[in-house]
Amino acid sequence: MVPKIIDSDEYRNIISVPIEGIQDFEEKEGNNGKKYHNLFSDNRFKTLLIPEKSLQRRIHNLAQSIVKKGEKVDKYEFLIVLTGAFIFGADLGREIYKICGIDVIFHTVKLSTYQGEIKGKGELSRQVKFELEPLDIENRDIIIVEDIIDQGFTLNALREYLINNKKVKSVKICTLLLKNLDNPSQEVIQSRKNIESYLDFVGFTVPDIWVAGYGIDASNDFRSLPFIIGVDEKFYLSN
């Protein structure tokens, strides 16, 4: 598969990632570099979606967008959705500091819906449970930092909770990935429509395959990878 080449100007906007993946314009080895070789023989691996350099370039531009929209702030307050967004949140916070010298305060929240499973297509809903609630965020301007928006049930529940229960001053949402769903149920369509109306910052859109890497796991696999891959659904469904 031939990846889509991304030039420097394209990193300023949301990048649409095809199933073949993307490749940075300066990546001389392409997506066949040594860092990826072990994956090609791994039967859990399907495709390299977003290489490391492309991730870091886009995250830098996301940080610039956040700083531009928050010109008068003296601090940023991130609510990191655990566990998947912890690497993204840390890198994003560091980029913000490099750009403007303003500190980022990190809060965390953990919710569960999958219960160790990878979601199924065409689902009607998912029950959302809070496993770790954020502390001391009342009357704060909060930026939710999420790894990936899939069906949207979790993020909708979190946003409503922050506004109605925690009485935060404002909520913005920053997600690294936004998944383009194939054949979603009407309930999922409504959930996605609702949450997308509130999205402030999006890194990439990705196809409707199971993804992993850069903090995101596939049944606890691949979380430590410094890039984003697609995994083989059949492997996980049969094990």
Residue 72: its pLDDT value, please? 83
CB neighbour list of residue 217: distance below 8 Å, 6 or more residues apart? 83, 84, 223
Of residues 72 and 138, more confidence is placed in 138
Compute the mean pLDDT over every residue in the chain, rounded to the nearest whole number: 91
The answer to whether residue 199 scores a pLDDT higher than 70 is yes
Digit-coded pLDDT (tens) for 125-136: 567 888 999 999
State if pTM tops 0.75: yes
Looking at 4-8, 33-37, 163-167, 192-196, which range is the least confident one? Answer: 33-37
Question: Which residues make Cβ contacts (< 8 Å) with residue 54, sequence separation at least 6?
Answer: 6, 11, 15, 22, 23, 24
| C-alpha span between 237 and 106 (Å, rounded) | 35
76: β partners: 104
Share of the chain above pLDDT 90, in %: 78
Among candidate residues 150, 200, 221, 232, the one labeled active-site is 150
pLDDT digit string, tens, across residues 29-39: 666 667 777 88
pLDDT tens digits along 83-95: 999 999 999 999 9
Task: Identify whether 42 is a catalytic site residue.
Answer: no
CATH number of 4-237: 3.40.50.2020
pLDDT at 115: 47
Mean pLDDT of 74-103: 97
For residue 116, is pLDDT > 80? no
The domain spans of the chain are 4-237
